[in-house]
Structure 1
Amino acid sequence: MLKSFDIYSQNNILKIIVALNLLLVGTGSLLYTDRLITKLEDREKQYVQLYANGIGYLFGSSHPDAGDLTFVTDQILQANTTIPAIYVNADGAVAFSKNIDDIPDGLTPEEKNQFLQRKKLEMRKKHKPLVVDLGDGQLGLVYYANSSLLRQLAYFPYALLTVMAALGVLAYLAFSSSRRAEQNRVWVGLAKETAHQLGTPMSSLMAWVEYMRSDPDQFDGSITDEIAKDVQRLETITSRFSSIGSVPTLKEENLNEVVQQFTDYLAKRISTKVKMTLASQLPPDKMVRINKLLFEWVIENICKNAVDAMKGVGELRLNIVALPHQEVAIDITDTGKGISKANMQKVFSPGFSTKKRGWGLGLTLAKRIVEEYHSGKLFVKSSEVGKGTTFRIVLNAS
């Protein structure tokens, strides 16, 4: 039974752990700050209650002596320097206000009264007004709002969470960038070492081909030619691996001819039970800027994956079409097992594979070659489990 694996699953677990820690810290900060806000709200309410009591004490029916009045005005009424408050007398009129900083300049007494009435209604939505007992059954009301300090503190946890989220995103980007850089170093080193190791047997094989050609009576010329093609293919592969890590050179190539030549070569080296066809809607002389060696590698990787998906039996169709905005597309369709929705986004991830063997790097390298080196696109155009998959390569032909 085939199974999928991801060599970076441990990194995903690490991301989850970091995210959970950030969430715990943020939640703890939010709860602690909320507790502080509640305590501060209660304290401000006590201040306003004291302020209301002072008003009742000052304007109530039983007036105290002058000394007490000085105490009330100096130490109670004047002590409130931060909490916005509006006192409404028993007749419902605004008697006076305190710490209302947004009163426009130049208002007439009537306009100022209307402004404070509107402000009073806004305050009532936030806090229930405090009752002032003026004696003889008369009651006044003190409306109040949170002080600027309390309002700032109320927004603090959200600001803190925003900062933590930004730090989390930066940490993730740094981690991802570091991981990609490490992957690139590994791939470049592995590719160049592979190219170096292929050099010695390549030289030997080329010498054997020349030896076989020197004695046509003993060696069948057609067999020798096919071996020579495979040796040339190995040279191409060596050049591909050598070019990894450097910016490839793009040249104007006839796309129809490039794909035709490569599919002709590949058709003789895959399963005979796979029917491979190529159709093109492009003009015969249509030119596209590509790196031929690397682009053939893309076609090869997708086609070989398709053959594996069909288990060596089925139909493999390549179709080249013109798109709007000076773009061309190559659709590669197989009749294989298809790709599940769960794996649709993973097929291009490094290390992901549904085969028992393989590194899971073929499609990753193909996507990188198309998108980074050719400024194109490579994606799964469509797929249905049990029926097949279509990969689409999009290139700019302008």
Structure 2
Amino acid sequence: MLKSFDIYNQNNILKIIVALNLLLVGTGSLLYTNRLITKLETREQQYVQLYAKTIAYLVDPNHFDSGDLTFVTSEILEANRTVPAIYVDPNGQISKPLNIDFPDNLADNEKEQYLRQRIVDMRKRHPPLVVEVGNGVRGLVYYDNSNLLRQMAYFPYVLLAILTALGVLAYLAFSSSRRAEQNRVWVGLAKETAHQLGTPMSSLMAWVEYMRSDPAQYDESITDEIEKDVRRLETITARFSSIGSIPTLKDEDITDVIEQFTGYLAKRISTKVKMSMTSQLPPGETVKINKLLFEWVIENICKNAVDAMKGVGELRLNILALPNHEIAIDITDTGKGIPKASMQKVFTPGFSTKKRGWGLGLTLAKRIVEEYHNGRLFVKSSEVGKGTTFRIVLNADKEKKAVEPQPSVKEA
């Protein structure tokens, strides 16, 4: 147990280290990217300022001379190919829109409306730049973020989402690894238990034969019951040996299997519990099951029912046919019932209302039914103070011809 504890503790430390690293990477990436965005935004603002100064140069008559302005228009105005910008002159007229993508099939008056709406949107994100055109007259340049800047703004969140996903995947991987390790421990423990039981069972069988050799001294009925218990131990040993292996399913008469097992179980539970079985299936109705494991399911549910009734009450098993070639096995007790808050927890490993017990019985039962027999196990109904009904649903043998049900009632 100490070794397994160390393994789990190391896994927890490793998960913490991975989580901290992911957090550091995410935080560092976020800060670095925000720094890049700030620099890019400053650069784009400088572009717009150049654009504004160029317009001021062009519209102010004092700036004109005989020089060639081709360099200004080609090198400065065309340097900005990414930042959307719109110049509004002192009279409120729009001119020289830059890097504006118009929707298709817009008329000239519609383009004017479109630019006005873009100006409203731009003003929400950035204050306009003032263009001095001389004599105290001013125009305004409105601008927006480029596509690159918008992409960069979303990049940190995308990166953070990716890192979060990686963190979740890492956590799931560690959790899966721990569950696999737990399963290996349980499988090894179960097989070792089965191996250790072999020697005392062989010895008990020898003692049974010895007692039968002297019937005058030993009551034969006693030796018969001891032999049944030894056979029962052999069955339990076979169950433990099969843990971790794929069970073999065979066609079994489901009514006969449950009847035989409940007959055995009835003699080994409280005498104050009245146990009965009702079958509404046709004689010989078979289901593909693993008999040893399926008996384990019935045993776990019935023993839980007896505990819920505190050894006093009625335990009923009812086998009935369902549509779509399914059969149901209802196990009903008159115990204390299950509160609604605990209804979804009864199959959770470790959940138990008893002071003693590991809370694994119903968990194993559900796993055997659903994973090995492709069936379903659930709480059909429960009422506090009145009792609970568990239902097992299995696929019946579809190749059997339909036969009229002949109900039979047997009391164990």
Shorter-chain TM-score: which interval? 0.7 to 0.9
State the Cα deviation string for residues 144-201 of structure 1 (Å, max 9, x = none).
2211221111111221122122212321321232122212211221121111111112
Q: Which moved more, 1:82-91 or 1:109-118?
A: 109-118
Q: Is the 8 A contact 1:254 1:285 kept in 2?
A: yes
Q: Is the 8 A contact 2:11 2:174 kept in 1?
A: no
Change (3 A) 1:24 1:312: farther
Q: Which residue of 2 aligns with 1:325?
A: 324
Structure 1: distance between partners of 2:309 and 2:27: 51
1:76-91 matched pairs, under 5 angstroms: 76-90=76-90
Q: Which moved more, 1:66-75 or 1:350-359?
A: 66-75
**Is 1:283 aligned with 2:278?**
no
Structure 2: distance between partners of 1:273 and 1:321: 26
Q: Secondary structure at the match of 1:96?
A: strand
**Root-mean-square deviation (Å):** 3.8
1:145-156 matched pairs, under 5 angstroms: 145-156=144-155
State the Cα deviation string for residues 11-55 of structure 1 (Å, max 9, x = none).
998799589755686567557655654564455345424433432
**Is 1:161 aligned with 2:140?**
no
State the Cα deviation string for residues 289-328 of structure 1 (Å, max 9, x = none).
1111100001111222222233323333333333333322
1:100-179 matched pairs, under 5 angstroms: 100=100, 102-103=101-102, 119-120=118-119, 123-124=122-123, 126-135=125-134, 140-179=139-178
Q: Secondary structure at the match of 1:82?
A: coil
Q: Is the 8 A contact 1:87 1:141 kept in 2?
A: yes
Q: CA deviation at 1:98?
A: 2.3
Q: Which moved more, 1:282-291 or 1:38-47?
A: 38-47
What letter is aligned with 1:298? V
Structure 2: distance between partners of 1:331 and 1:47: 79
1:1-398 matched pairs, under 5 angstroms: 21=20, 26=26, 30=30, 33=33, 37=37, 40-41=40-41, 44-60=44-60, 62-63=62-63, 65=65, 73=73, 76-90=76-90, 92-100=92-100, 102-103=101-102, 119-120=118-119, 123-124=122-123, 126-135=125-134, 140-340=139-339, 343-397=342-396, 398=398
Q: CA deviation at 1:64?
A: 5.2
Change (3 A) 1:318 1:148: same
Q: Which moved more, 1:89-98 or 1:13-22?
A: 13-22
Change (3 A) 1:78 1:310: same
Q: CA deviation at 1:135?
A: 4.7
What letter is aligned with 1:359? W
What letter is aligned with 1:267? A
- Fraction of identical pairs, as percent: 75
What letter is aligned with 1:294? L
Q: Which moved more, 1:73-82 or 1:297-306?
A: 73-82
Q: Is the 8 A contact 1:123 1:143 kept in 2?
A: yes
Change (3 A) 1:238 1:390: same
What letter is aligned with 1:97? P
Q: Is the 8 A contact 1:310 1:336 kept in 2?
A: yes
Structure 1: distance between partners of 2:352 and 2:339: 13
What letter is aligned with 1:191? A
What letter is aligned with 1:205? L
Change (3 A) 1:306 1:164: farther
TM-score norm. by structure 2 comes to 0.78
What letter is aligned with 1:95? S
Change (3 A) 1:66 1:384: farther
Q: Secondary structure at the match of 1:198?
A: helix
Q: Is the 8 A contact 2:15 2:174 kept in 1?
A: no
Change (3 A) 1:329 1:62: farther
Q: Secondary structure at the match of 1:269?
A: coil
Q: Which moved more, 1:79-88 or 1:39-48?
A: 39-48
Q: Is the 8 A contact 2:257 2:291 kept in 1?
A: yes
Structure 2: distance between partners of 1:357 and 1:154: 58
What letter is aligned with 2:142? Y
Q: Which residue of 2 aligns with 1:5?
A: none
Q: Which moved more, 1:208-217 or 1:258-267?
A: 208-217
Q: CA deviation at 1:373?
A: 1.0
What letter is aligned with 2:263? D
Q: Secondary structure at the match of 2:288?
A: strand
Q: Is the 8 A contact 1:120 1:143 kept in 2?
A: yes
Structure 2: distance between partners of 1:347 and 1:13: 27
What letter is aligned with 1:48? V
Q: Secondary structure at the match of 1:253?
A: strand
Q: CA deviation at 1:374?
A: 0.9
Q: CA deviation at 1:390?
A: 3.3
What letter is aligned with 1:142? V
Change (3 A) 1:181 1:280: same
Gapped runs of 5+ residues in structure 2? Answer: 1-6, 399-412
Structure 2: distance between partners of 1:311 and 1:77: 91
Q: Which residue of 1 aligns with 2:405?
A: none
Change (3 A) 1:20 1:184: closer
Structure 2: distance between partners of 1:257 and 1:50: 94
TM-score norm. by structure 1 comes to 0.81
Structure 2: distance between partners of 1:15 and 1:343: 33
What letter is aligned with 1:379? F
